Structure 1
């Protein structure tokens, strides 16, 4: 199955398959991730668009287009088309899509949250779907996640104390990075994330655009290295048939809990795709109780 077919079946970059033998645990870096980001700039040795093409950014049913800015880049997102009523304050979820492009089918993942009364926003990130900027593989894209969250928070009718973050696959990894980089979020739920950039890019070396000779480049993309930097309660979930990153997710949760952080690792029956409904149900309960 080619990469586009994986994406269309919501199985791109999954954790499924036999678990490989794991190398020694990645380093635990005690420096706060937000502080580390302020002092680090990724060095891209290849500049270009994201690996996947995606759909036109015309909004699917139930969404409208909205612009947001990240640095000097104008970017686009989809937003629930049922705006809050005058005087109403509603919770909001920033949902990060899987893969390296936005497809119309991704919007369906926001349905449980919209039905539960959340305003949902799904951003396209830099270099995706023909947008400006260069693909960096998790790092600069985290700036876009935070910029989209700021734009969502500023919308009329949004309760700024109830901004939640969720995502699947690559979006799950970006969810964790965002939850370490900013205190904006009330809680975060990551489905099928990969906390270890070294393991991820070993599997997908064609996606490396940065200086792979610099170990810090991998550290700054690795949630497991900064697991004690989470700034909100976090729920990490994956399907029972997914094993590829389970050990690293467990290490991330253990390291975070060792510092007293509210980070939970759970397993839902299913695979990379079929577990999503159960993961969404758990995330909604988690958000409601946070």
Structure 2
């Protein structure tokens, strides 16, 4: 695992203790548990993320070096290395090979955790207590794309932390939709940790995904960066409310029209904000559902629940998405 990825994921444990620190409320509106603002109005806006961001341009005040390591060579793995076009240039991604059967197949974009780019852990067999690989989807016969974002690996661009990277995600989706062996109507988005945040932002940005699955994404970035420390790599001013708000999925929850499912272990500081996000979603009938996994952590929920999700995807063959979860079903899957 690249050093940048490891450092970010390791720092999650420190966030658990930091989340109890108070931060001052900044205005009225839907308040998250950490004092930031989810919406300025009582009802969440239904406008998509790009429309709500409008002409706002993020101001990068700190040049953060994510990693300059080229992606690991995927030879001998289920993947091949490709470069997809983005507004900042060509970005690296792993994608599984053409099955060669002339059929169109469902596909998953797996947004990895951390900010260190892509690497060999995405296809290696990982321990059950922390399985961040994409093998659950590959083993189920799905087409899988694992993109990196701007400034990661040997990619061009500047690190923006959940801003321009959303544009990169949309570019990866465009690339995947154009592949002749991919069913463009059955493309799913899933991600863990920072990738889970990207998954939530993707659900808010477009309705082109058939369903979205976030494992431990951060609903409100104020919880992370509000103390001025964050993960140690915040490239924008954490005191600027717009910079934080426009990176927070909680801001855009009303824009969700694609079935979107959030899973996180009960020990996570993100649980309260995920529940608030679900409450906000209900106000406008946005299909967002949050599940707190009893006995689960930010990491040990992945192995079992990703396989549950992969199975649901393979069975989702109707005209529209029919994926559903019950709390008891999720709990039972994790216990097993």
TM-score normalised by the chain length of structure 2: 0.77
Q: Which has the larger radius of gyration?
A: 2
Structure 2 counterpart of 1:255, from 272, 276, 280: 280
Matches within 5 A, 1:200-211: 200-202=224-226, 204=230, 206-211=232-237
Whole-angstrom distance in 2 between the partners of 1:53 and 1:252: 35
> 1:197, CA displacement in angstroms?
1.0
> 1:89, CA displacement in angstroms?
0.9
- Whether 1:24 aligns to 2:38 is no
Structure 1 counterpart of 2:73, from 58, 71, 77: 58
- Whether 1:166 aligns to 2:190 is yes
Q: Which moved more, 1:202-211 or 1:180-189?
A: 202-211
- Whether 1:192 aligns to 2:216 is yes
Structure 2 counterpart of 1:110, from 105, 122, 134: 134
> 1:189, CA displacement in angstroms?
0.1
Could you list the per-position Cα deviations for residues 79-135 of structure 1 after superposition, in whole angstroms to 9, with x for gaps in the alignment? 113x13343010000000000012321344211111212100001111011211000
Matches within 5 A, 1:69-108: 69-81=85-97, 83-101=98-116, 102-108=118-124
Could you list the per-position Cα deviations for residues 12-35 of structure 1 after superposition, in whole angstroms to 9, with x for gaps in the alignment? 536974552643352315442231
Q: Is the 8 A contact 2:190 2:199 kept in 1?
A: yes
Whole-angstrom distance in 2 between the partners of 1:105 and 1:217: 32
Which residue is 2:326 aligned to?
none
Q: Which runs of 5+ in 1 are unaligned?
A: none
Whole-angstrom distance in 1 between the partners of 2:37 and 2:277: 10
- RMSD of aligned residue pairs (Cα, Å): 2.5
User: Paired residues, what number?
Assistant: 285
Q: Is the 8 A contact 1:235 1:263 kept in 2?
A: yes
Whole-angstrom distance in 1 between the partners of 2:173 and 2:37: 29
Structure 2 counterpart of 1:216, from 242, 251, 256: 242
Whole-angstrom distance in 2 between the partners of 1:63 and 1:277: 20
Whole-angstrom distance in 1 between the partners of 2:192 and 2:296: 14
Q: Which runs of 5+ in 2 are unaligned?
A: 22-32, 125-132, 317-321, 324-336
- Whether 1:7 aligns to 2:18 is no
Whole-angstrom distance in 2 between the partners of 1:261 and 1:57: 39
TM-score normalised by the chain length of structure 1: 0.89
Q: Give the 3 Å change call, closer, same or farther, for CA 28–285 of structure 1 in structure 2.
A: farther
- Give structure 1 regions of 4+ aligned residues with deviation exceeding 4 angstroms: 8-12, 52-55
Which residue is 2:260 aligned to?
234
Q: Give the 3 Å change call, closer, same or farther, for CA 110–119 of structure 1 in structure 2.
A: same
Whole-angstrom distance in 2 between the partners of 1:15 and 1:230: 31
